[in-house]
A and B are shown apart, each in its own frame.
Chain A
Amino acid sequence: MTLDTVKHATETPEAAQPWKELGLKEDEYARIREILGRRPTGAELAMYSVMWSEHCSYKSSKVHLKQFGEKVPENDAMLVGIGENAGVVDVGQGYAVTFKVESHNHPSYIEPYQGAATGVGGIVRDILAMGARPVAVVDPLRFGAADHPDTKRVLPGVVAGIGGYGNCLGLPNIGGEVVFDPCYQGNPLVNAGCIGVMKHEDIHLAKASGPGNKVILYGARTGGDGIGGVSVLASETFDSTGPSRRPAVQVGDPFQEKLLIECTLEIFRENLVAGIQDLGGAGLSCATSELASAGSGGMRVELDTVPLRDSSLSPEEILMSESQERMCAIVEPDKVGRFLEICEKWDVIATVIGEVTDGERLEIFWHGEQIVDVPPRTVAHEGPVYHRPYERPSWQDALQADDAGALPRPATAEALRDQVLQVVASPNQASKAWITDQYDRFVQGNTVLAQPEDAGMVRVDEETNLGVAMATDGNGRYAKLDPYAGAQLALAESYRNVAASGAKPLAISNCLNFGSPEDPAVMWQFAEATRGLADGCLALGTPVTGGNVSLYNQTGETAIHPTPVVAVLGVIDDVTRRTPIAFTEEGQLLYLLGDTREEFGGSAWAQVVHDHLGGLPPKVDLERERLLAEILISASRDGMIDAAHDLSDGGLIQAVVESCLRGGTGARLVVPEALATDGSATGDAFTFLFSESAGRAVVAVPRSEELRFTDMCAARGLPATRIGVVDGDAVEVQGQFSLGLDELRAAHTETIPALFG
């Protein structure tokens, strides 16, 4: 086979090219020819096709994501915004934190263990590339029905993969979610997030500047696995039939990644890099074009110097390979020696593959012959942008009209008791300990809070006890009923979870999981959700620092529920002031903060008891969320509360049961006379226990602090209703029922092991 050089391409303008097979549209191919003024070479075509794929170019989502950059709240914490590998926020005392969530949905369905494992690997490299030491991971997960046979294949593999990779890297897993819904049957959502910590001066950016600087590829050798895998796979409707549509999945090597982390941190410590980029989707195509595009000059790469695992790889394949555990650094010539020495120390292969030029082109050579000559921006940043048509689906009105409030409610105290047990034991509400116990949450010795707390929390500084917290939340059922509100509810819940732990929410990342953008109904969901999230962030003062979009999560015509997942990062000056969820001290008073209304649309109760999804999701009141958060943070700082648990799916009773089980104590609850300050709901036990009104939390107040606490709530205008006391070894709702802790514990903890153990 002759090498398709730039010269050859110029001489053979009419040669047929496989642009269609590479996922390009006709007009996109024409555009490439226009940019280059000739047909692209095979290598150029490979680069454009992966970089212009949905996964890498965000071509369908870009016009909507813009809002995150436009509706930016006043926030001095933001140090690096959207566009870099991950955003960076200031957490005080000279520290900065970078964090991000990414999806690895499609590969995890094909090969659950490796798909999930490499998902963790990818996000950790993103964080590392910012200059930070990764300090924790989180994993929001969604699967098909818990009792579906295929879920038995997917879930254990995904969990083992996340654990297998993260545990081996020495990163504590401090949070996440596990949600089951038939809508994810053929499209499980495997999102992974990572938090990294650095000093302000250590922030590194992905840009190649300074002519003469060397381009060093280091880490694993490049192999033939996953060629175009992630990008192409994540850019198509997934169809499991034809084996030819099954691109190779990569196998991760967490040991190599651990070496890469330590090696890279040592390189940072000695200040040896001018720019750095991880290799993820689209591999070298992405790293070289992005580095060059963000820098001032051009770049020249000798592709035949790339260390290979398989010597028969073609240049196109090398450019597209998504082999894991690789990084690319820009290094001044006089620092190359030391750079390579550190790599040698850590047994990491490192190779100078090129250099920054004073030109404007990205030029790639293969044994001396030029095979790529492109303006890097056109590859990395000037991909196609689609204004996809969107339209509110015709079924949305009927769905919203199907009010969950009309569902039959338990008629007797006995029935209410049964339904409480049912909800607490349902796969979505049950304890996830069987899963999270497969994750190391202690490693690094800084974990202050981890599962099943509202937020994960790690200590950042051993001297001052500065810490950061993170929670991730998303509720596809709410978002299906109303994607605008659903996105805000995800934000609000995550924000509330962080505040409940005592930390101040600072900024967010997101992972937007949706169906096919070619479906106007899905595109409408996407448009609504992004608008809701951007508006919500503005209202809460928490900027979006970055995120990830995963589209084409659908089987045939059926899309998953729109599932925006939001990760909120918070900061706490002194982790000794954190608030756990556990009720531990008998006699402490339980207060319900916020208003409770008759809100059952999309609720856990409607799902578990009636298998119902309809109506409207709970009303969003972001001002209220903000106030609630302020109260929770002040109360924690001033030692007024000993426990706090946010209320979300499953309502008050779910939260109380979790807090009781965690602390090993019971609670006696009294149904209050009024549930909402505006008088909209009077005190009925069912609404009290199961409503999913937003903006609420339950707290345990030592008697000595009661006055101070209620005064503070009254002064700030936050409804605080005394609903009971920590006591005994049962959860008792006065006049209704009593459920022993043992019975509750069995119901709550046995479900998941029985399904997957």
Chain B
Amino acid sequence: MGFIDSFKQNFIEADRWKYLWDGLLTTLEITGAAVLLGLFLGFIIAIVRCTYLKTGKMKLANILCRIYLTVIRGTPVVVQLLIIYFVVFASVNISKTFVAIIAFGINSGAYVAEIVRGGIMSIDNGQIEAGRSLGLNYRQTMTYIIMPQALKTVLPALANECIVLLKETSVAGYIAIADLTKGGDIIRSQTFSPFLPLLSVAAIYLVMVMFLTFLVGKLERRLSANDRR
């Protein structure tokens, strides 16, 4: 079968391209929402951990955070996805996309937390001392002095975490979510020609990742230009 025929069969006939398009939208939806959830969780955890490391307060919360980090970073995301789907939300009739967002968000949160913690800890202690010596309390020092600086240093790493997450969501098909990868699988199961569906799925991911990488590079240049002001 020639390339044109194969192309027609895999994408044009029965509007099969729609599987890819809808899958792409699902992938983007899950990734986007999970990134937000991950950032939210990650920042909270990082702040708890740093508060403990810097002041010795929030001991219990710190222990809980450490357990969370160990467990999430110690198990594969697909196992986490299955557990959240089959065990945590066992008897709740909940949208699978929502389950995926929760699972990937919780997973990403652990990695975001370590990135942000690294960023906060990289800020010279003298900054905290300067803030406190002016009479600002811990929270004010964190909010106005430490976090703005930390945020700037971790922004590229956080953006990279988004890229990682985009790729990770490709296992969403494990709970029968019709994401981009699954979209290709559906076409494949109907046409039995693995070549085009798989390669086009790969190409779509590649284009997205390259585009995001390009943006991250731009962001980094922008940030380092700012440093020279």
A and B part of one assembly: no
A residues lining the B interface (CB < 8 Å): none
Q: Which residues of B contact A (CB under 8 A)?
A: none
